[in-house]
Amino acid sequence: MIGSQIPKAIKLCLGFLILSIFFSFFFVKIWGKRLLEEDSFRQELTFQGEMTISEFGNVNRLSHPLLKKVFSLTSEVDFQKN
């Protein structure tokens, strides 16, 4: 009787571990990008004289979609504006 309960306990623990790993990957996939963008706002932004928007984004590790939204850019050419 006790011998049959041990494998059930091990299976339960392994199942819980596998589900935990699966859900952690799932939530990182959903919210990971947003968390990284929020972290970029917490840092101080670097600005060096005459910079294009693209250079500003590269120096401060800001994504192109974020720059498009903040600066209301419509095309890739707009990234070369000062």
pLDDT tens digits, 16-63? 999 999 988 888 887 776 666 655 555 677 777 788 888 888 888 888
| Cβ proximity of 10 and 42 under 8 Å | no
What is the pLDDT, as a whole number, of residue 17? 94
Q: What is the pLDDT of residue 62?
A: 82
Query: For the stretch 12-44, what's the b/e string if a residue is b when 16 or more beta carbons lie within 10 angstroms of its beta carbon?
Result: eeeeeeeeeeeeeeeeeeeeeeeeeeeeeeeee
Tell me the whole-structure pTM to 2 decimals.
0.45
- CA–CA distance, 53 with 59 (Å, rounded to integer): 10
Token pair for 47: 């600005």
pLDDT at residue 14, as a whole number: 92
